[in-house]
Structure 1
Amino acid sequence: MTSSPPTGLRERKKAKTRAAIRDHAMRLFEEQGYAATTVDQIAEAAEVSQSTFFRYFPTKEDVILTDDYDPLIVEAIKAQPPGTPPVRALLEGMRAVFLSLDEDEWRSEQRRQRIYQAVPELRVRAMNQTVLAIDMLAGALAERDGESADDMRYRVIAGAMVGVVLAVAPPGGHFDLTDFARVEEALRVLEASLTLR
């Protein structure tokens, strides 16, 4: 990934294998449907064993639902200077990650989102992952401030930020830089009406 390139031969090889598995899986999902595609077919297309597939993705669902950018955003949030308001920290974290993506990375992310939007069982699990996104953001913001991740203030603000993104991000997985600008604008509206302390 442009935003955080793997270092070392082993890490680069692992990143290449993971990307190949996901790319072949998405192609098969598009060609023959999600339900009709098996892990064996994905592994064969990617020229890996089934056990290798499961080392990278615990389930077939995870090929689509695992968001590789979330950990990068968390690290970018934690890297913001002390005292940066939470919404500003999220904005800067998102900017650091999304504005560094190249065209191929944007296309792959849009493709991933289109697939999970088109498959009902994936949409249900994706909504369940919203709670995990709130946990992730609350934890990153609290850690940055030296506070407990269970602090209700951080959970409430993280929930509000996730809600804002869901409210303005386009459905169907056609998220691009224009949409990111809209998310930024909406988060600034939230920022203007929130204080943490």
Structure 2
Amino acid sequence: MPPSALSTSPEEPVTLRERKKQRTRRALADTAVTLFGARGFDGTPLDALLEQVEVSRRTFFRNFRSKEDVALTAVKQLWDAYLEAVDAAEKSGPLADVLLGAMLATLEHMDEDWYRRFPPTLRLVADSPALDGHALRHCAEVQEELVRRLGVPDRLELRLLIEFFVAAWHCTLDEWLPDCAPGELPALLRRSFASMTSALTLEA
């Protein structure tokens, strides 16, 4: 599991040391979203976050790679879980259904902590060009990883399918963000996904 990830499972780590590390990561991620949301990501130095959580730089960098990394915890947590869901999915039938099913399974297993942190994280990304660029790079890395893991011979068609899926996901988030009701996100994703075919046949 990458340093930026937080468990979405209700199970706690076994050892006291692991539980302490989990609490530190969660405190950093929670405080980052609140602090950056109040002061702005670009205008808030990393030291302000460390002061709030009362941890050293050494402790921070044992858990996260950068200020951008901690701010995007919820985003990276989602895509880490999604890649695992894709690996676990039965690879039969249309790959579009596999991609959709894996995201629906991912959303089902995300906990309340994630659903609380995810909307303000998206708003941070929207308000910060630097953070938006970091998020786009991470999304591109996930797409490349999907191409590698799915291993379909026709890479062009697979890349197009993944691009369509990611576009549908982003459109879903645009629809979801005003209210951010957790139960509505899967239904909105299904609707966006179902609209892809008709969208490709739109006429001027």
Report TM bin, short chain: 0.7 to 0.9
**Which residue of the partner structure matches residue 165 of structure 1?**
169
Say whether the 8 Å CA contact 1:87–1:188 is kept in structure 2.
Answer: no
Shift of 1:178: 1.6
Aligned CA-pair RMSD: 3.0
User: 1:50 aligned to 49, 52, 57, which one?
Assistant: 57
**Which residue of the partner structure matches residue 135 of structure 2?**
126
Say whether the 8 Å CA contact 2:28–2:49 is kept in structure 1.
Answer: yes
* CA distance 1:151–1:115, shift in 2 (3 Å): same
Question: CA offsets, 1:39-81, max 9 Å, x none?
Answer: 2221222222101212222211111234212111111111112
Q: Which amino acid aligns with 1:13?
A: K
**2:19 is equivalent to residue 15 of structure 1:** no
Q: Which amino acid aligns with 1:152?
A: L
What SS does structure 2 have at the residue aligned with 1:82? coil
Written as runs of structure 1 = structure 2, the 5 A alignment for 1:116-195 is 116-142=125-151, 151-170=155-174, 173-174=177-178, 175=180, 176-190=182-196
What is the total number of aligned residue pairs between the two structures? 189
Say whether the 8 Å CA contact 2:33–2:117 is kept in structure 1.
Answer: no
TM-score by length of 1: 0.79
Shift of 1:5: 4.2
Q: Tell me the distance in 1 between the aligned counterparts of 2:10 and 2:142.
A: 20
User: 1:59 aligned to 63, 66, 71, which one?
Assistant: 66
* CA distance 1:191–1:74, shift in 2 (3 Å): farther
TM-score by length of 2: 0.76
Q: Tell me the distance in 2 between the aligned counterparts of 1:14 and 1:86.
A: 38
Say whether the 8 Å CA contact 2:89–2:98 is kept in structure 1.
Answer: yes
Contiguous gaps of at least 5 residues in structure 2 = 1-6, 200-204
**Which residue of the partner structure matches residue 78 of structure 1?**
87
Q: Tell me the distance in 1 between the aligned counterparts of 2:197 and 2:176.
A: 27
Say whether the 8 Å CA contact 1:3–1:97 is kept in structure 2.
Answer: no
Contiguous gaps of at least 5 residues in structure 1 = none
What SS does structure 2 have at the residue aligned with 1:139? helix
